[in-house]
Structure 1
Amino acid sequence: MRSSVEVFDVATGEARVVWQTERLVEAPNWSPDGKFLIINGDGRLYRLRFDGSEPVAIDTGFARECNNDHGISPDGSTLAISDKTEFGKSAIYLLPLGGGAPRLVTSNLPSYWHGWSPDGRTLTYCGIRDQVFDIYTVSVEGGDERRLTQGEGRNDGPDWSPDGEWIYFNSSRSGRMQIWRVRPDGSDVERVTNNPYGDWFPHPSPDGRHLLVLSYDGDVFDHPRDLDVRLRLMDPDGGNARILLELFGGQGTMNVPNWSPSGEAFAFVRYQPER
């Protein structure tokens, strides 16, 4: 086993296996109807049901170099993907959830999708411009992007709160990667975590009660795969933080929104070392 796609129940504190494979797969999204996950592997995206069946490839047209930054619109109709086939750099596209021709959204590259606004009208993402990592938003129709951060360290991994009031993200502006949040208009930047870990990929739960964070050891740079990490749960303001699970993982474990629609569970990937 190389990759183990699993679901963690917050109430019971137990994880159950959905599917295991010798392949490297990453970044599960949970469908809004609760019936399946979407994962990526080998540049493709797959639909994975909970019945033990093998995942089924999604038709993404020409996009055959998809990375692990993908996610489903709140109404369940549309899939956002990040793919580098067309330009050699990651660009964000939208396509029907059932598969189809990708439509380009971002003209500035590279751009890595991370979240939908609750109303489904706006995307948030990490954009690298002149080697500077910042948080941006753009309409699903495309057009001009809005820059929310201004190069204060490396800014990455944005995800929207369910009430639409905040965009959570991770930033190294304090020296170590921690979780911050900002209003969608770029105002009121607040620090959320302040601890010895390297915190990445904050995901607010759909019910607004929790914030899920992937935490590396504090001396780890970037977000590599195949390390001992922990998944931590906290209040939306960073209070009452606790470790839910320690595992071998990192990159690919939960890069993108991964909560169940009810907010009672989340999906993640656990890894075994390559042989």
Structure 2
Amino acid sequence: MKRALVLINLLFISSLITAQEYNPDADTLRFEGEHHLRNIRQLTFGGNNAEAYWSFDNKELIFQSDWEKINPQGCDQIFKMKADVSDYEDGIKYKLISTGKGRTTCGYFLKDGRIIYASTHEADSLCPESKMFAAGRYVWPIYDSYDIYVADSDGSDTKLLIGGKGYDAEATVSPDGKYIVFTSTRSGDLELWRYEIGTGELVQLTDQLGYDGGAFFSPDSRSIVWRASRPTGEEAEVYKQLLKEGYVEPKALNIYVSDIDGKNVRQVTDLPGANWAPFFHPDGKKILFSSNHHSIDKGGRLFDIFMINIDGTGLEKITNSGTFDAFPMFSFDGKKFVFCSNRNAERKPSRDTNVFVADWVENPDERDTGFKAVK
């Protein structure tokens, strides 16, 4: 009986300490309704910083940036930083990992600490031409000069890993360290491909008309999740013409999952607008993604992060900043959550997209459901 009372007292004291550790008034980057996020910290402070992904030891983040303070190139280059934003041994806080030439995208850590990213630098040292609109449509450029490179953790010894004719980019790595999944036009359409790191074997995973991209592996490395368009009729013809010109229109995307061999495909979302940037929840049963489906009637300019069960049920809004929120990723221990946003502590409109890290709250309590932002 005494032992049980001691245990109850210890649990009570522990809960008090935990409650004291969190100060809502200091959480100036958190917005009301963000029940799963605490202690949000801003890690970059200008320009466009996106696709921040964790190292396997949860100590570093890799990201792409055009922030003039660290990147004079004029278009995205790949950087890494410590997750606590402390300086590296050489006194540098944001370390350039790519070559500083061409345009880069989609940096990711390999399990051995090396990094991979897509780049156009071998085709041209200058930034490739980029435009936001083609035929009156908002588009993303699909550069056929993108190839996937591997480099040491400090960016040295850069080598071509996956190349050839067409677009090769959007590469991510399985948690077991065996595979890379990426998007390529090597078969004529934007399809997902799997690269086996040990053997170099390539396997095509998707084959339906439309954009298949932005894939990530599940925590157990047995499934993948990605964004896809499935245009039909006139939209299919528009899609093919834009792709021929080197563009894709990301206005109608939904989230899909499959086994890592491309079999057992299931559509997770059936929502209007652009549903993209998916990532598995640590339990492997839910997916987080960015979407503008809730703002279509207002022009579709507002993107928030949502969570949904793999069977398409239980849609839940995670961010509520009234700005752009996207690129969610959990640390490999499931405790931290990185994302990119236009938010700032002053609550002022901004086009700067920065990297943010938060503590993930799996089971919100009254401190979370009742959170009131400091005005």
Q: What's the TM-score once normalised by structure 1's chain length?
A: 0.80
Compare the two structures and name the one with the higher strand fraction. 1
Per the alignment, in what secondary structure is the counterpart of residue 137 of structure 1? strand
Q: 1:163 to 1:52 in 2, by over 3 A?
A: closer
Cα distance in 1 between the residues matched to 2:340 and 2:216: 19
Cα distance in 1 between the residues matched to 2:311 and 2:154: 36
Task: Name 2:52's counterpart in structure 1.
Answer: 28
CA contact (8 A) 1:229 1:246 kept: no
Q: Structure 1, residues 198-238: CA drift from partner, whole Å, max 9, x if none? A: 21121113442431111123898xxxxx9410101122333
Task: Name 2:235's counterpart in structure 1.
Answer: none
Q: CA deviation at 1:133?
A: 1.0
Are 1:183 and 2:219 counterparts? Answer: no
2:94 partner amino acid = V
1:30 partner amino acid = W
Moved more, 100-109 or 62-71: 62-71
2:119 partner amino acid = D
Task: Name 2:163's counterpart in structure 1.
Answer: 107
1:191 partner amino acid = Q
Per the alignment, in what secondary structure is the counterpart of residue 64 of structure 1? coil
Q: 1:68 to 1:238 in 2, by over 3 A?
A: farther
Q: 1:52 to 1:239 in 2, by over 3 A?
A: same
In structure 2, list runs of 5 or more residues that go unmatched. 1-28, 67-75, 88-92, 125-144, 233-251, 343-349, 353-375
1:85 partner amino acid = H
Cα distance in 2 between the residues matched to 1:230 and 1:103: 36
Task: Name 1:268's counterpart in structure 2.
Answer: 339
Are 1:81 and 2:117 counterparts? Answer: yes
Compare the two structures and name the one with the higher helix fraction. 2
Q: CA deviation at 1:171?
A: 1.2
Per the alignment, in what secondary structure is the counterpart of residue 170 of structure 1? strand
Task: Name 1:223's counterpart in structure 2.
Answer: none
Cα distance in 2 between the residues matched to 1:103 and 1:122: 18
Q: CA deviation at 1:58?
A: 3.4
Q: What's the TM-score once normalised by structure 2's chain length?
A: 0.60
Task: Name 1:37's counterpart in structure 2.
Answer: 61
Q: 1:114 to 1:212 in 2, by over 3 A?
A: farther
Q: CA deviation at 1:123?
A: 0.6
Task: Name 1:167's counterpart in structure 2.
Answer: 224
1:273 partner amino acid = R
CA contact (8 A) 1:198 1:215 kept: yes
Cα distance in 2 between the residues matched to 1:193 and 1:181: 10
Pairing partner for 1:203 from 279, 285, 292? 279
Task: Name 1:231's counterpart in structure 2.
Answer: 305
Are 1:122 and 2:176 counterparts? Answer: no
Cα distance in 1 between the residues matched to 2:42 and 2:295: 32
Cα distance in 1 between the residues matched to 2:84 and 2:206: 42
1:18 partner amino acid = Q
Cα distance in 2 between the residues matched to 1:216 and 1:244: 13
CA contact (8 A) 2:58 2:83 kept: no
Per the alignment, in what secondary structure is the counterpart of residue 105 of structure 1? strand
CA contact (8 A) 1:154 1:172 kept: yes
Q: CA deviation at 1:144?
A: 4.8
Q: CA deviation at 1:11?
A: 6.6
Task: Name 1:259's counterpart in structure 2.
Answer: 330
In structure 1, list runs of 5 or more residues that go unmatched. 1-5, 221-225
CA contact (8 A) 2:170 2:213 kept: no
